[in-house]
Structure 1
Amino acid sequence: MTLYERRSSLEAFDRGASPATSERRKLSFNPIADWAPPQPPAITSVPKPSTSTRLLQIGVAVVYCLLAAGVVFGYAALKPVLVAEGVYRSSCTVEEREADVWVCNGQELRLNLMFTVAAVSTNVCALPVGTILDRFGPRVASLVGVAFISLGAAGMAFAADLAPLFDAYVPAYLCLALGGPFVFISAFQLSNAFPAHSGLILALLTGAFDTSSAVFLAYRLLYQSSDGAFTPKKFFLVYLLVPAFILLAQVFIMPHHSYQTPGELAEQAGDSSPDEPSDTTPLLPADDSPRSDVWGALHGRPATSQIASPWFLLITLFTLIQMTRINYFVATVRTQYAFLLQSDALAAQINAFFDLALPLGGIFAIPFIGAVLDHTPTLFVLSLLVATASVIGAFGLVSTMWAAHVNIVLFVLYRPLYYTAVSDYCAKVFGFATFGKVYGLVICIAGVGNLGQTGLDALTHRRFGGDPRPVNGALEALAGVVGLALVVFVAWRRRGLRKDVDE
């Protein structure tokens, strides 16, 4: 601007219109009088639904997880119905048929194949479930689960009619197994609907998963009380109401997008990319509650970086060993105690007690699990898991009835605590932005490792003459070493996280 232009603009100013007294600015020699420290960006997000809506969503999710999430693990109750209906009876030899054995060897192997394929697939499919969940959201993932459950129920209903053409039991049961994780894992994000009670919400969902094994137990009781009139075809046609209920819930009740953690909302407010976390990204929640000891340890990092960290490697190894121990015990509880107690009758009593205690344990453990996860540090939870697993392993080596009952009671309470604690650990350490991939990979690797159960069973019977103690003892020792390493690492890194926050 030229000197003439500056002068003209000044002359155009009306000197008679001086500001009022209240509008005058005080003369100050303070160089920072009008300076204010920069404020961090406000955390903005899509408003959460009302409290009643969120409670309804959690309640609905618990109900459909109770009906569909882990229903295939009630196979021990369904198996007698299938045997009574003559499923795979054609696999028996002429001699076995003439002897009128309850179940022949060929029939037993084909029936067990149904459960083996379903159990392994349930864990392995956690990775694709997680990928779909991260990319398309919980609604799409749940609808995929609805499709699988519908196919599975329809296949089981008409499997007997299709028997002359092909074996529909294995693929149908497989579809039921695949549908469970889609609806179950998709519900985990509801724990962020009420962050202060996330542990209780996860405990409710996991308890529903464990208790869902009682669906086939209830059907077996109905089948026996009706003298076989309530056939599998009738039951599974009625069961088609379950995927219909889930479909309606997803369309009209459940959230379209996952609820987010406070750390993820802060990252969005700071506009920080996963590769470049901003200085304003909180490492821990604002409160100093005990559960915040590892919160946000790897939030905001890409999944590849999280998977390469010791946080992931140690929890994956621990999960692999513990899941193998858990599923191996579920599959062999009767044969183990037949050897330990040297009595098939006593082993049958223990097995009957276990069938009843397994779903009940998921129910009774819910308040305990919620309190532990919500009000104690993650380090304490991991230490409790390692210590309890060691106690269970010790009772499993004792050849008495009282020890067997104590072992089963601890086991059915420990199982839901363990699975809930793993998902809670993944949410707190890795965040929900990559939760599906990371948690899915943990369960997937553990599921693949569970294929080794067949080898453990063969080792027990062929090498140790049916004695389960050598295999159980080795698994317990291995779990103790890996579990101790996990606890030591978390304790060390927790101090580092606290130090970073204090600074």
Structure 2
Amino acid sequence: MAGFGKSLKVLRCLTFATGLVECLCFAGAVFGWASLVFVLKTDGYFSSLCVNATTVNATQVLDCSEQDEQFSLVFTIASFMNNFMTLPNGFLFDRFGTTVARLFGIFLYTLGTLMVAFSTAALSNLLFPALSFVAVGGILFLITNMQVGNLFGSHRSTIITLYNGAFDSSSALFLVIKLLHEAGISLRSSFLFLSACSFIHLLRTFFLLPRGHIPYTVPDHYTYGVTCGKSNSLSLEQTAANANTQMTTEETPFNKEPVKQEKSFRECVMSRFFVWHVVWLSVMQLRHYLFIGTLNPMLQRLTAGEPSLVSQYTNAFAITQLCGVLCAPWNGLIMDRHKGKPRAAGESEQEADLRASGLSLFLTALQCLLFSVSASTPYLPLQYLTFILQVLNRSFLYGGNAAFVSVAFPSCHFGKLYGLVMALSAVFSLLQYACFAVVKGPLDGDPLYVNIALTLLSLLAFIHPLSVFLHCRSLASQRAINASS
């Protein structure tokens, strides 16, 4: 059995390492949109929308605002699909397991990359479905990989946040494509290579992941994947025991406890925690999406259209995205700081987790406020600081979102609530296109007033951590009253 245990350890380490590479190199590529736009503009996508215009000085200039609007719309739709489809994708994963969900995700991702590869300036509209397919396929990679944390027990939260950080950092993929394009490698060649990498995703699906779900907690000698030749098998008694354990856990693969009689799904959705959490995520996500979707025209404006400066700042933004994988675990450490410490008399583990999450929620809102103020300041060198604040806040935002849902609500509703939060925030994120239209129209390309409005809107995110703090203080007061009586 010693050899069997060693082979299991190797299998799990391979699963973790390849999952990290998959999230880091593929899953969140769509959020490197600013780098890809630079390439697409160079190749003439939507260039027919650029028209000659006359300035107040009677100077002829090329007005490409309509082109920028189309690029913004492509990203708006793709980012919307990335979040909104989390709800049906979550149900697909829960109902049919890892293999089916991943095969669907690989199909979409491959289809999307092939559509970009065979698109041309004359077929610019192919970008709309292509980027949406890449976005939805990528989020399925993340959803199916997060369960890998279940294999590592006490390090579960760290691995989940690390994968979310890798998802954020994968936006640097389009920076690599941009640099290759500048070195003479065509856009088609780069995306054909991405399509060919789907073979690697298929190998992971069949050899390094289960058909169903990875349970939490993991039974002794739990194994998965297709094995070749003779393998060490479990005894009949062990197999039966593991099956019984999995029956109680596979329906909620990320959860630690079996299903109990808890609040109904409707009661959870109608609770103030859920409402304020949706607001918390939505306002900050809108700020991030608008910033990413309008980064190229913003840099065009601040650099007076100097191509070398636009390229320099676009590269700087993409490089900072690589730091997401380093920043994300910090939030997990903040939320797990109370683990292993004695709790107050009468305090439940859920209450302790909820109390710890309050600081994370507050710091995330504060980061977003600072990021928004920096992004709103029309001073070009300051944008380096903006890029740093953006990646730090984004890495905290999504890891904190999943963690809060898991501690604040019954485990039996985690998948549905997480998907619903993401779907509702996706609907709210559609406002980014309206904001862009306002900037392009009434504001004549100057985003200052929209940025100020979004900065003020981001203040709503502070209500959520305040609500959590007041709730925890109320519970502590109630415990004190009960102890004294």
Going from structure 1 to structure 2, the CA distance change for 1:218 and 1:272 (only over 3 Å counts) comes to closer
Which residue of structure 1 aligns with residue 291 of structure 2?
329
In the TM superposition, what is the alpha-carbon distance from 1:91 to its structure 2 partner? 5.0
Are positions 1:204 and 2:159 aligned together?
no
Equivalent residue runs for 1:235-384 within 5 Å? 235-261=190-216, 301-333=263-295, 335-336=297-298, 348=310, 351-352=313-314, 354-375=316-337, 377-384=356-363
CA distance in 2, matches of 1:413, 1:311: 24
Equivalent residue runs for 1:458-477 within 5 Å? 458-460=437-439, 462-464=441-443, 466-477=445-456
Which residue of structure 2 aligns with residue 62 of structure 1?
20
Deviates more, 1:486-495 or 1:142-151: 486-495
In the TM superposition, what is the alpha-carbon distance from 1:187 to its structure 2 partner? 1.9
Going from structure 1 to structure 2, the CA distance change for 1:390 and 1:498 (only over 3 Å counts) comes to same
Counterpart of 2:266, as a letter, is T
Q: Which runs of 5+ in 2 are unaligned?
A: 219-243, 250-254, 339-355
Deviates more, 1:311-320 or 1:359-368: 359-368
How big is the alpha-carbon RMSD for the aligned residues of Structure 1 and Structure 2?
4.1
Across the two proteins, how many residue pairs are aligned to each other?
424
In the TM superposition, what is the alpha-carbon distance from 1:128 to its structure 2 partner? 0.9
Going from structure 1 to structure 2, the CA distance change for 1:206 and 1:133 (only over 3 Å counts) comes to same
Are positions 1:385 and 2:364 aligned together?
yes
2:131 to 173, 178, 184: 173
Residue 159 of structure 1 aligns to a residue in which SS?
coil
In the TM superposition, what is the alpha-carbon distance from 1:177 to its structure 2 partner? 1.8
1:192 to 150, 173, 180: 150
Going from structure 1 to structure 2, the CA distance change for 1:72 and 1:403 (only over 3 Å counts) comes to closer
Going from structure 1 to structure 2, the CA distance change for 1:484 and 1:337 (only over 3 Å counts) comes to farther
CA distance in 2, matches of 1:79, 1:102: 18
CA distance in 2, matches of 1:206, 1:176: 17
Counterpart of 1:154, as a letter, is L
- 8 Å CA contact retained: 1:324, 1:449: yes
Deviates more, 1:167-176 or 1:411-420: 167-176
Counterpart of 2:127, as a letter, is Y
2:107 to 147, 154, 174: 147
CA distance in 2, matches of 1:209, 1:434: 24
Counterpart of 1:304, as a letter, is R
Deviates more, 1:107-116 or 1:309-318: 107-116
Equivalent residue runs for 1:397-436 within 5 Å? 397-400=376-379, 403-430=382-409, 433-436=412-415
Counterpart of 1:155, as a letter, is M
In the TM superposition, what is the alpha-carbon distance from 1:415 to its structure 2 partner? 0.9
CA distance in 2, matches of 1:135, 1:405: 44
Counterpart of 2:425, as a letter, is A
CA distance in 2, matches of 1:315, 1:261: 26
TM-score normalized with structure 1 length: 0.72
Counterpart of 1:73, as a letter, is F
Residue 213 of structure 2 aligns to a residue in which SS?
coil
In the TM superposition, what is the alpha-carbon distance from 1:167 to its structure 2 partner? 4.7
Counterpart of 2:268, as a letter, is Q
- 8 Å CA contact retained: 2:16, 2:148: yes
1:113 to 66, 73, 88: 73
Going from structure 1 to structure 2, the CA distance change for 1:188 and 1:428 (only over 3 Å counts) comes to farther
- 8 Å CA contact retained: 1:190, 1:258: no
Counterpart of 2:158, as a letter, is L
CA distance in 2, matches of 1:121, 1:456: 19
Q: Which runs of 5+ in 1 are unaligned?
A: 1-46, 274-283, 286-294
In the TM superposition, what is the alpha-carbon distance from 1:497 to its structure 2 partner? 8.8
Are positions 1:131 and 2:121 aligned together?
no
Deviations 1:264-311 (A, max 9, x none): xxxx98x999xxxxxxxxxx98xxxxxxxxx99999554333222222
In the TM superposition, what is the alpha-carbon distance from 1:147 to its structure 2 partner? 1.0
CA distance in 2, matches of 1:169, 1:424: 34
CA distance in 1, matches of 2:437, 2:65: 16
Are positions 1:447 and 2:431 aligned together?
no
Going from structure 1 to structure 2, the CA distance change for 1:484 and 1:429 (only over 3 Å counts) comes to same
Residue 199 of structure 2 aligns to a residue in which SS?
helix
Deviates more, 1:298-307 or 1:242-251: 298-307
Going from structure 1 to structure 2, the CA distance change for 1:480 and 1:191 (only over 3 Å counts) comes to farther
In the TM superposition, what is the alpha-carbon distance from 1:148 to its structure 2 partner? 0.4
CA distance in 2, matches of 1:476, 1:255: 44
Deviates more, 1:398-407 or 1:235-244: 398-407
CA distance in 2, matches of 1:406, 1:434: 39
Deviates more, 1:307-316 or 1:389-398: 389-398
Deviates more, 1:477-486 or 1:129-138: 477-486
- 8 Å CA contact retained: 2:168, 2:324: yes
Are positions 1:213 and 2:175 aligned together?
no
Which has the greater radius of gyration? 1
